[in-house]
Structure 1
Amino acid sequence: HRLKNRGSRASEALRSLCAPHKLLLTGTPLQNHVGELWAMLNVLDPARFDDADRFLASYGDLQSAEQVRALTELLRPYLLRRTKRDVDLGLVPMEETLLHVEITAYQKTCYRAILEQNRSLLLRGADARTGPSFLNMHMQLRHVCNHPFLLRGVVQAEGLEAASDAEYAERLVLLDKLLPSLRAQGHRVLLFSQFRMLLDLLEDYVAHRGFSHERLDGGVTGERRQAAIDRFCAPGSNTFLFLLGTKAGGVGINLTAADTVILFDPDWNPQNDVQAQARCHRIGQTKPVRVYRLVTRDTYEDQLYRSANKKLGLEQAII
């Protein structure tokens, strides 16, 4: 992945090596823009791909079908690709449902306070030093969309320590309706988020609701990680829910015991969401897979999701 940045030290070091043959392995040859393709092609064939500006002038904007076809033909001799459908023709289908979620009045207040950098409104006049940082406003807006309790100082300022989590975030209200229905129908669920602090909140919620669950995030390693996977996948296991960090555990883990995926928040990198779905929609899956993607309507998160879709469309068109 570091090769995709042509200015990275890893990329420069590999370009200095003299080798008669080179092979690059990646599941995501294109993630953000066409320049990433040139960076890898330059490593593979520096004589032919020696000028990034000329390459980007020809293919960088991809405004026409002719450009897409020309780039695809240029890549063809260099690309060997296999998908799971090539291997298992009987792979069950996967259906994705986009659920646009509204925000509660309290979330709107917090969202406005973040945009206006108004700690007084956010914290009800409490000590501003206990509030969130506004240096990364996009991250704070994403926290509001997930659950306002993720904002530093909000719980204490509102005196909400003993309050019900669900009523302050519409996304959790939806989850509170969806999970009991899925359990009643006999489904088993993987719930993904890229935020560990959100998984902490969700773990409190599912424990309060009495849902049997496992958890895997960046802090769960080694034997504990494998033990959680084994318990969930064991024949006869009645564990209903698996909470996972979107990027935790590696892309190779097999959780085909589940048949439902909930993407609680979209990842910055859409490929991470694609790989998350593949934890259960993979060779060996015998049940149809349903994916529920939660996106907060008319917020920064909605814009992020649309941008991610454009990246996936770019890869679909070229690769």
Structure 2
Amino acid sequence: MLDSLPFSCIFVDEAHRIKNPRSQTTRAFSQFECVICFGLTGTAIQNDYAELWTLLDWWNPERLGTMDQWRKCVTRPLTTGQSQKASTEQLAVARRLALRLVKNLLPHFFLRRYSRTAISVQLPGKSHEVVFCRLTNAQLEACKRFLSLQSVQNMILAQDLCECGSRKKRSACHHPVEQGEALKYISVFMKISNHLVLILPSPSDNQGQATRNRELATIAFPDGAPSYGLAIFDPNLCGKWAVLNTLLQTWRKERGNKVLVFTQSVKLIEMLKYHLSREGYHYRTLDGSTKQSDRMPIIDEFSNDPDVFLFVISKLAGGTGLNLTAANKVVIFDPNWNPAHDLQAIDRAFRIGQRRDVSVYQLLAAGSLEEHIYRRQIYKQQQMAIGYEASAQTRYFVGVQGQRGKEGDLFGLKNLFTLNEDSYATKMTIEKANRDQLNWALAHFDGSMLSEIPSEELAAKTGKVDTVAVDDIKGLKSFLFAEEDQEDTTAILASHGAGYMHINDDVLKPTNVEDQLTEVAIKERKRRRRSEKISKKSQEESQNSQTPPKPAWPPKRKHHKTQAPLSPLSRLYVRQHALIALGYIKEKEDLDKSAADFVNRTPQEQREILLKLDYPDEI
């Protein structure tokens, strides 16, 4: 047995697989009695901070306490502080803890290369667009029918009080939830979000699968389910098909493009084959059924044959370990609960050796379970950024991972089984967070911030500034509020079922406003603690002393009054009205349109904007 050999050093590739302390993989690697262990991974944090502890504990046993201690001291404070409703104290604690984790702890255990700095000079550009595709009417109706099932309602309302008056929860009274029901219906809603054909019986199904799919099809199509062969080509059964077809047609017109399409569903790959063959695309496929001996020849054909336009790949079989830099277009057809899996798939094309810019399009069924999975992806990617870099991430969500009663807008079955038919929940969440940050900046960015502005900007404050600079600042309306023209691809997709799009990296970008907000929270925490110490000391002295305190000398002059600074609420009111008075917006509600632009500006640009609002007659 390998674990009985006296190894002096061990290297483990893809070490993130050692993420669950109870898994057989982790237990097997823990059997090695070795002084030096190295783990190689690009994703030490994938789902939560507990995975990081498992890795650290594997090669440094017991140096970082137990899992429970890690959860209490690291996981809980960090996740609580990332909630949109975190208090000033919780926000300050989380920020200071993240900085300590990154600066004091991880350097002793991690040697981390940042792809954006270490190898950025070797890579071209990458854009990652997330496309929210509208569900078809058939998909919407199927979702509603499954949501109306009593078994699904029992899960959604499980924590509510039973209507019988017993004061017990429904799940513990007259509406029990059967074990395994949650996973069963999560799988069903994922299939409906992807393509309705996935719940129809197919020729490749075994007897058990065929029986289950017939039952599902009866619910989804009460008037009779279509046959599998005809349903494959029915565009009304999938809201993503029109978007995918539009992308492929656009890219095929431009010579030299090569496309990767990743999906989790082998059944979907079989369906794609019919479509691609009918449209005349030259393609290759790779999934779990592909023989190991055939993998490299297929990859070589795609990479070297100019006629092979498309490569359809199962994420599980080909999402890692492949070099596919011949491709410059990537489509993620369905999201994974673990964002690292989708990022790994993208990196099959965007890696060292790539010479062209890479365009990534991640397709989501808007309003469905898929959109909720993507919201979880955002949350997890933000946790990665905080754990790796102590990044000041925008607090989009109220929910706190792993804390019962704090599911908020992100966790729990009630959120999972919510259908947002007429709105884009992610869009609304992002807009609200940006609006909150803009309002906070308008209310709290004051003279202390302006004092850090370079001398030429301070000269602008007094009117002594170069004419060109004045014109630039006076162009604030276009500088802040002008909407850029949509790219051709974006406009085309919007007319073929894409209801909303955004750039994934923009959502995950740390912001100056959030950074300033957390700094204020830390200062407020220090001030409060100092005040508590002084108050406690004063109380002790007064109790021990019999003589009254001496009066202050020299006495304070009450008639020498200075003008009090504006309160945050007053400053917010004044600056909002300045935006209206200067003609940059017509109503306060128009701030929503410009909030994202302001939040993503550099500190220098934000200061210029605030100067214009504070001194409209002098600049």
Q: Structure 1 length normalisation: TM-score?
A: 0.88
Q: Give the CA RMSD over aligned residues.
A: 2.2
Residues 80, 104 of structure 1: alpha-carbon distance in 2 compared, 3 angstrom cutoff: same
Residues 212, 96 of structure 1: alpha-carbon distance in 2 compared, 3 angstrom cutoff: same
Largest Rg, 1 or 2? 2
Matches within 5 A, 1:122-133: none
Cα deviation digits, residues 288-317 of structure 1 (max 9, x gap)? 100001111111111111101111111122
d(CA) in 1 for partners of 2:110, 2:182:
44
| Contact 2:49–2:387, Cα closer than 8 Å, also in 1 | no
Cα deviation digits, residues 249-280 of structure 1 (max 9, x gap)? 36221111110001111112111100110111
d(CA) in 2 for partners of 1:107, 1:269:
25
Equivalent position of 1:95 in the other structure: 127
Whether 1:44 and 2:59 are equivalent positions in the alignment is yes
Equivalent position of 2:111 in the other structure: 80
Equivalent position of 1:247 in the other structure: 316
- Structure 2 SS opposite 1:41: helix
Matches within 5 A, 1:171-182: 171-182=240-251
Matches within 5 A, 1:255-274: 255-274=324-343
Whether 1:185 and 2:257 are equivalent positions in the alignment is no
Higher helix share: 2
d(CA) in 1 for partners of 2:227, 2:351:
45
Residues 50, 162 of structure 1: alpha-carbon distance in 2 compared, 3 angstrom cutoff: closer
Structure number with the bigger relative contact order (C-alpha 8 A, sep ≥ 6) is: 1
Aligned length: 305
| Contact 1:192–1:246, Cα closer than 8 Å, also in 2 | yes
| Contact 2:260–2:329, Cα closer than 8 Å, also in 1 | yes
Letter in 2 for 1:302: E
d(CA) in 2 for partners of 1:16, 1:252:
26
d(CA) in 2 for partners of 1:228, 1:162:
30
Equivalent position of 2:366 in the other structure: 297
- Structure 1 SS opposite 2:260: strand
| Contact 2:319–2:345, Cα closer than 8 Å, also in 1 | no
Whether 1:312 and 2:327 are equivalent positions in the alignment is no
- Structure 2 SS opposite 1:99: strand
Residues 113, 269 of structure 1: alpha-carbon distance in 2 compared, 3 angstrom cutoff: same
Instruction: State the shift of 1:60 in Å.
Output: 0.8
d(CA) in 2 for partners of 1:88, 1:43:
31
d(CA) in 2 for partners of 1:265, 1:305:
10
Q: 2:195 aligns with which of 134, 147, 154?
A: 147
Q: Percent identity?
A: 30
The unaligned stretches of length 5 or more in structure 1 are 119-132
Instruction: State the shift of 1:36 in Å.
Output: 1.3
Q: 1:112 aligns with which of 139, 144, 147?
A: 144
Letter in 2 for 1:295: L
d(CA) in 2 for partners of 1:145, 1:231:
33
d(CA) in 2 for partners of 1:82, 1:174:
36
| Contact 1:111–1:144, Cα closer than 8 Å, also in 2 | yes
d(CA) in 2 for partners of 1:270, 1:195:
17
Residues 83, 252 of structure 1: alpha-carbon distance in 2 compared, 3 angstrom cutoff: farther
The unaligned stretches of length 5 or more in structure 2 are 1-15, 82-93, 151-180, 200-212, 389-619
